[in-house]
Amino acid sequence: MVSTEQVAPALTLPWHQQPWATLLRERSRVAHALLLSGQVGLGKRQFAERLARALLCTEPSDTGDGCGMCRQCRLLLAGTHPDLARVEPLEEGKVIMVDQIRALSEFITTRPHSAERKVTIICPAESMNINAANSLLKLLEEPPLGSVLILVSDRPAMLPATVRSRCQRVDFRVPARDAALTWLAAQGVAGGEAQILLDMAGGAPLQALAESDLLREREQLLTDIEALGAQDGDPVVVAARWHKLGAGRCLGWLAGAVTDLIKLAMVGEPGAHLINMDLASRLQALGQGLHLKQLYGFADALAEARGLLASPVDNLLLLEDILIRWMNVREKVRQK
């Protein structure tokens, strides 16, 4: 099913200025397929929405943005524009199915209803299953005249190379740290918290803002990991609690904590290089006896688990598995 429903207004973010200027330099010659790629939390979806509105507007502003007043913009604001479609998983954590791409093909190969072109946003593009990706490839190979496909991806490497090669790639990079902290301060995030959140988010401001409540939850997450490492916790109970908090955010925090453990194992002493600097003493104690080989092995398993979050795999079982793996890593240390 292709969705044309209204979504929240797109943000205009300061670190989007360069890619925006590059793409809109020749508005009439925008590529038929774009791949917006970069880590989570850089506003790629917001950029895609902003770009779609700009491409459909008949009287764009000096910045290239939609004017907000023409008929096309009014349709967009009402959420009823017949020439804009969005393709996304029908349920959170599920894949984009081939039937959705077939419906997209029917949508995009018909003449525009009121605009000069048709625009589609596919997000997250890496959630397409292989049949859906192959179906999209046919559209990319023979794109309807004037149509624009905008693929949004946090993990573009998961897309088939044949799909990636037929898109103009627009890479989004984390902004300078000072600029990111200034933006977070403007959103009401206190300086000390902003620095910790930005480190946890890998420098991505939107991710840092979205995870502001994770500062409080980290204490429980670390307590869970400490208990499991001491064989005092139940991985099934912990997994259920983490599942309620969100598998992605919990595994993301755990990945950062393991990165800190690796840094501590290499350097020996806490320093500004840590992501969870305020938890350094507890992490140092947690890492006692662990070798780099063990930590890297667990980090690889954790990266694989995070990569499966967008697949049909049950996230609760995924959490249980990774937590049991952590217990096994610590148990080997205890047995020495």
DSSP 162-229: HHHTTSEEEE--PPPHHHHHHHHHHTT--HHHHHHHHHHTTT-HHHHHHTTTHHHHHHHHHHHHHHHH
Return the axis-axis angle of helices 292-307 and 315-334, rounded to nearest 10°: 170
Q: Which residues of the chain have pLDDT under 70?
A: 1-11, 26-28, 270-272, 334-336
What is the pLDDT, as a whole number, of residue 334?
65
What is the pLDDT, as a whole number, of residue 9?
45
What is the pLDDT, as a whole number, of residue 145?
81
The conformation of residue 280, written as its DSSP 8-state character, comes to: H
Whether the bond between 160 and the residue before it is cis, its omega within 30 degrees of 0, is no
User: Which of 54, 51, 86, 88 has the alpha carbon at shortest distance from 68?
Assistant: 54
Is residue 211 within 8 A of residue 197, CB to CB? The reply is yes
What is the pLDDT, as a whole number, of residue 104?
94
Residues in a beta bridge with 81? none
Is residue 224 within 8 A of residue 296, CB to CB? The reply is no
14-171, CATH topology level: Rossmann fold (3.40.50)
Helix (H), strand (E) at residue 148 = strand 148-153
d(CA 74, CA 152): 25
Which of the four CATH numbers 1.20.272.10, 3.30.200.20, 1.20.1300.10, 3.10.129.10 does domain 213-334 have? Answer: 1.20.272.10
d(CA 38, CA 279): 28
What is the pLDDT, as a whole number, of residue 93?
72
Residue ranges per structural domain of the chain: 14-171, 213-334
The terminus-to-terminus CA distance of the chain in angstroms comes to 56
Give the pLDDT confidence of 77-113 residue by residue, as tens digits.
888 899 999 999 988 778 999 999 999 999 998 888 8
d(CA 258, CA 260): 5
User: Which of 188, 180, 187 has the alpha carbon at shortest distance from 205?
Assistant: 180
What is the pLDDT, as a whole number, of residue 270?
64
Helix (H), strand (E) at residue 37 = strand 33-37
